Chains A and B, each alone.
Chain A
């Protein structure tokens, strides 16, 4: 039974990939995910300059999942180089995706050019963080033409495969995916967090997150994410990293059947800790055995046939 995935020519030993923003500050941390069974990892989105992010509280759990407004903190792309090198040395068989962001298109292109020289297998374009609207305006992925323009500009300077990370907070995600594909995206990551949402503390009578609003993920996002992956699969030919509420093996199967080739894993780490990767892969194997499949690629998008 084969659960390894060939994704844009990159070989992942299994479909689980740590989603951007989770355990992605240091190379040692990401390597520890690979050691615990993650097929691959995505580093935290990085910008040109150092960013302190929002003050705490930035990440808060609630019964339906997680809400976060970390605010894209990071040490800046030049300082972060050694973290990618540390990861590459410690986990040579588990691909790493470098996630990039920018305050504007010029910065995005500059960061992309630098990331292309780093030891990463693929570059994810974070066009869809919902927590920095005050600073950067509406995310690029909320507009098909902006998505096309940004993808095109980055495609021009980057040789490595690129995946465009889309927002679920749009009326027609398939159309936006199509615009990314037309301008040379090799893959789509669907989706980023939804919202933004808000939690209020009744006793303090104020929003809990310092940023007041934040992106919602986990269980609450899952049905939306499954539909988004389904829509993107219908709209484009390029493969999908299905992300959003993949909290257990059943959710993973839904995402694959909707059209995901790889699975972005985040909130699952909260419920099942570092065992979540092997738990999800074991469940997929069990399903394949019961249902008579021999290669995981046979499952991708099967829900579209019925």
Chain B
């Protein structure tokens, strides 16, 4: 089948500008993988897979552009969306006993999928949740129910540490005993996470986001400068030390024409 077309069974407003769409389908994706979500008549964009069970999966879609705006405004319970995938190189936790997950804002959904997989395998999982305010901290209850230890950081101090989530990460790394750090969220945060992990001689895995067309490694639209690796196929999850070698990591990305643009989407 070229496209999996699924009905939206439920819509949960998880945070300002972020809605979770529930589909009744056992996708059995690995944590960190993504689907290309097709909003008919508008566009198709890569979206990380969030919460999963044997019969359900969640896509938490943040308002980020024309396609996600159309999904937020037009898609109601009972409407259908097309999907291709799951695609991509996943997060892995084999052999680890104690891991730390660092997520900011809309980077949380794949962290949730990873926490499900890790806790099921008996890995001690600490989640560092970052967000602008306490209303932007995602999936706290779900992480708690999985048995994760949670530390929050907010920009305004409305919950947990006032400041960057990476400050909290540094404290965790100082304590020692962390086997691997995982991160997904704003790219500048991920650069900091990868650098901190490297400073503490700890492996890390980061999940990158780039404009994509095919999603399975042939069109070249999401290739990263330096190595030429494909975000859709060799990534989206890369070892932190590989991501740090990419000359564009934390600096720029490309638009649909292949023109270099800033991480904020503006022309350089």
Contacts and interface: CB of A to CB of B under 8 A. Distances in A.
Interface string B235-268: 0000000000000000000111111000000000
B188 to A, nearest CB: 22
Contact of A21 (B3, B80, B84, B219): B219
A203 B2 CA distance: 12
Contacts of B172: none
A56 B230 contact: no
B216 A75 contact: no
A56 B213 contact: yes
Contact of A53 (B224, B227, B228, B256): B256
Contacts of B225: 26, 28
Nearest to A76: B257
Interface in B28-59: 36, 38, 40-45
Interface in A184-198: none
Q: Chain A contact residues (Cβ within 8 angstroms of B): what range?
A: 35 or more
B204 interface: no
Interface residues of B, number: 38
Nearest to B6: A203
B176 interface: no
A148 to B, nearest CB: 32
B80 A204 contact: yes
B223 A25 contact: yes
B163 interface: no
Contacts of A202: 5
Q: Give me the 4 closest cross-chain CB pairs, A-B, nearest first.
A: A32-B228, A56-B44, A29-B223, A28-B228
28 contacts: A22-B219, A23-B223, A23-B230, A24-B220, A25-B220, A25-B258, A26-B220, A26-B258, A32-B228, A33-B228, A52-B255, A52-B256, A55-B43, A56-B36, A56-B213, A57-B3, A57-B38, A58-B213, A58-B219, A59-B218, A60-B84, A73-B258, A75-B257, A76-B257, A204-B40, A204-B80, A210-B44, A270-B218
